[in-house]
Amino acid sequence: MTQNIISARFGEKNAHTLDGYQKLGGYGTLKKLFGMKPDDVIEEVKRSGLRGRGGAGFPTGMKWSFIPKNTDKPKYLCVNADEGEPGTFKDRLILELDPHAIIEGIIICCYAVGIKTAYIYIRGEYDAPFARLDAAVKEAYKAGLLGKNIHGSGTDVDVVIHRGAGAYICGDETGLIESLEGKKGQPRPKPPFPAVIGVFDCPTVVNNVETISALPWIMSNGGTAYAAIGTEKSKGTMLFSISGMVERPGVYEGAFGVNLWKFIEDSTGGVKDGKKLKAVIPGGSSSAILTADEARNVNLDYESIAATGAMVGSGAIMVFDEDTDMVKALEVVLRFYAHESCGQCPPCREGTYWLYEIVNRILKGKGRPEDIDLMLSICPDMLGRTICVLADSAAIPAASYIKKFRPEFEAYINKGNPPERMLHPGGINLEARAL
């Protein structure tokens, strides 16, 4: 049975309030924290093997250690709560059900790195999560858990909540920083990296909501205990947003290293209405897609999923049944990325547009025989050629859908209509992607 770390308080009454959180042991790590040296806290996080849960999977403690120690500039923390990847809704639950875990995690990070101001950049459409988070921050200030001289420790931490305006690109850490500074939300070239030149040109740590929320458990139980869960390189647990054609869509916590399809079946009850499995997206709409056989024979960890050409990403698992029209599914994905490209880089601006235009032409029965190979020829020229990875996020799924389900694209071109039984786009819903 998987030990719940992030979701342990999700079902507890009033866990979102300060009183409820403290009754469940919340903020219990602070006495231990303030008795440690900041560098020892960083080493404890390194020992845990915690990796970023926002998509990139970069080691958290290592990221913290990149922040310059001898600098006259202030240091900042940006908590990325701009959850905009289609299929993701795990951070939303943390924000709504356990916001004080984020605040406690912020205090831990700020103490370790020498940060006095933390920004939480929250997705603009997240009204209920914002209300819960805002109330929790106010409670923490009133109780002396934020502000000056927290618990007489000499540690100062201020938290500012900043609401985004609905741009997917602001989920990129440098796009987020630009937006936070009041500029147009466009990613910055790297280097320099945020650890050196981040918010207001100062050293900055950018961590995802779930990453920050794991810190209280690590501080309470130790990095070694966290590292004992999962695999050699994929440590701990992760929240997975499972949607699509399953019996019980929702957010489920699982330890790395389990079989992907077994985890989906055990968590959700399997494919809805007893239908056959056709495909699985393991890590959000920007991931390559897995066939049913691939999904049944791969373990759920960073390295195993990457070996298939896909990724764990933000933990958004989408399940497609036998009736899914893969051309429609790809059209939905490419429509999203063409719309959300900021237009800064030509390979992304032009590539996302043309991939969408071509698949839309195929879907309408106006495709040409050469269109399939034309799409495949566009994808390589989009990979690794832009400031951020949005171009890759369109090209990678496009190539995988076409290569693995090419007969369906050919059927549209040859007959002008989909094969029999191809009914829906697999449950990908851009308008309600965070429900």
Q: Locate CATH 1.20.1440.230 in the chain.
A: 326-415
- Evaluate whether 279 touches 322 at the Cβ level (below 8 Å): no
- Evaluate whether 344 touches 385 at the Cβ level (below 8 Å): no
Please give the CATH number for the structural domain made up of 326-415.
Answer: 1.20.1440.230
pLDDT digits (tens, 9 = 90+) for 313-368: 989 999 999 999 999 999 999 999 999 999 999 999 999 999 999 999 999 999 99
3-state SS record for 100-135: HHHHHHHHHHHHHHCCCEEEEEECCCCHHHHHHHHH
Calculate what percentage of the chain has a pLDDT beyond 70.
95
Q: How far is CA 221 from the centre of its chain?
A: 25
Q: Locate CATH 3.40.50.11540 in the chain.
A: 18-227
Please state, in angstroms and rounded to a whole number, the distance separating the CA atoms of residues 395 and 375. Answer: 9
Is the link from the previous residue into 59 a cis peptide, with omega within 30 of 0? no
- Evaluate whether 202 touches 75 at the Cβ level (below 8 Å): yes
Q: Locate CATH 3.10.20.600 in the chain.
A: 237-321
For the chain, how big is the Rg over CA atoms in Å? Answer: 22
Who contacts 75 (Cβ-Cβ below 8 Å, separation ≥6)?
67, 113, 114, 115, 116, 202, 203, 204, 205
Who contacts 288 (Cβ-Cβ below 8 Å, separation ≥6)?
308, 309, 310, 311, 396, 397, 399, 400
Q: How many CB atoms lie within 10 A of CB 414?
A: 11
- Evaluate whether 292 touches 279 at the Cβ level (below 8 Å): yes
Read off the tokens for 331: 């059209």
Please give the CATH number for the structural domain made up of 237-321.
Answer: 3.10.20.600
Please state, in angstroms and rounded to a whole number, the distance separating the CA atoms of residues 69 and 113. Answer: 8
- pLDDT by residue for the chain (435 residues), tens only, comes to 457 999 999 989 999 999 999 999 999 999 999 999 999 999 999 999 999 998 888 999 999 999 999 899 999 999 999 998 899 999 999 999 999 999 999 999 999 999 999 999 999 999 999 999 999 999 999 999 999 999 899 999 999 999 998 899 999 999 999 999 999 999 999 999 999 999 999 999 999 999 999 999 999 999 999 999 999 999 999 999 999 999 999 999 999 999 999 999 999 999 999 999 999 999 999 999 999 999 999 999 999 999 999 999 989 999 999 999 999 999 999 999 999 999 999 999 999 999 999 999 999 999 999 999 999 999 999 999 999 999 999 999 999 999 999 999 999 999 765 555 556 666 565 443 332
**Any idea which architecture 18-227 has in CATH?**
3-Layer(aba) Sandwich (3.40)
- Evaluate whether 20 touches 101 at the Cβ level (below 8 Å): no
Please state, in angstroms and rounded to a whole number, the distance separating the CA atoms of residues 125 and 164. Answer: 8
Who contacts 152 (Cβ-Cβ below 8 Å, separation ≥6)?
none
